[in-house]
Amino acid sequence: MTSHAVDAEITTARNPVSALRRLRRHPLGLAGGLLLLLIAGFCFLGPLLHPTNQTDVDLLNAALPPGPGHPLGTDTNGFDVLGRLMAGGQVSLQIGLLAALFATTIGTVYGAVAGLAGGVVDGFLMRLVDVMLSIPFLFFVLILSARFHANTLSLSLVIGGFSWLLSARLVRGEVLTLRVREFVLAARVMGASRRRIILTHLIPNALGVIIVNITFQVADAILVVAALGFLGFGTTYPTADWGSQLASGVTYISADYWWLIYPVGGCIVLTVLALNLLADALRDAVGRRAD
């Protein structure tokens, strides 16, 4: 789940606006973005076209195979699976986005402080990151999830609270490279204040890296939510994230209720795929690789 460690290479940033313009030259990234829009539309606008009752249990129409009225069948509570996918997608996307925002905010501040402070403070802060990174992420999150009641906010906090470490490293690296770049040095020579340097030079220039990072984080967070739901630590009635939906499909796998597995599985894969494609293209657009 933290496999972006593999490609946590430091990229140099440029202006994000021109980067967006360059994104047009990435059809695959564009496809990812488009797919993501489609999925978001499916989850948030879909219920308008296909309104379903996702709160009243329908005992007699539980676990129906796909058929008229229920294009993807019903689940074991009698909820329409297609409608459930939309509702679950809202939860999963919200958690993914919130967790990524939490993680990136903490990571950016932490990394910037470390990078700017330098010396002993930087050393200590980054060793702490090393320590945290060495504890398997899933173990940590599971221990906390077992204890606390899962809802959108608590899940985002737990996931975000343990996935800011890579952002911190990235941002620190970025700040370190920018610190010695000509325009910052020039500003310094011209007597600009430290705050001014941070606000007008460092942050805008690091923004590209941050945006790319958020996109990856959303994808990772959605996978983590799915894993937690699958292991039985997801959200409960009346909400149900995609992972929890999949988990109920697992229970009935020997009963061959296939429509409880494939549609929701497909949603998870497509969403993560779209986010990864977009993030890759963004990274490419934001900057070239460090030489």
The residue among 25 and 196 lying less far from another protein, judged by its C-beta, is 25
- Identity of the residue, 146 or 186, whose beta carbon is nearer to another protein in the bound complex: 146
CB of 4: closest distance to another protein in angstroms? 8
Backbone angles phi, psi at 70, to 5 degrees: -130, 85
The residue among 34 and 109 lying less far from another protein, judged by its C-beta, is: 34
**Residue linked to tokens 């939309």:** 86
Q: Residue 39 or 202: which CB sits closer to another protein?
A: 39
Q: Is 232 helix (H, G, I), strand (E, B) or coil?
A: coil
> Smallest distance from the beta carbon of 30 to another protein, in angstroms?
9
149 vs 195, beta carbon nearer another protein: 149
Min dist CB 20 to another protein, Å, is 15
In DSSP terms, 289 is beta-bridged to 11
CA geometry: angle at 36 spanning 73 and 64, to 5°?
5
Contacts 24+ apart (CB under 8 A), 234-237: 234/150, 234/155, 235/91, 235/150, 235/151, 235/152, 235/155, 236/150, 237/77
Least distance to another protein, CB of residue 50, Å: 19
Nearest in space to 270 (alpha carbons), one of 92, 35, 97: 35
Least spacing, CB of residue 239 vs another protein, in Å: 10
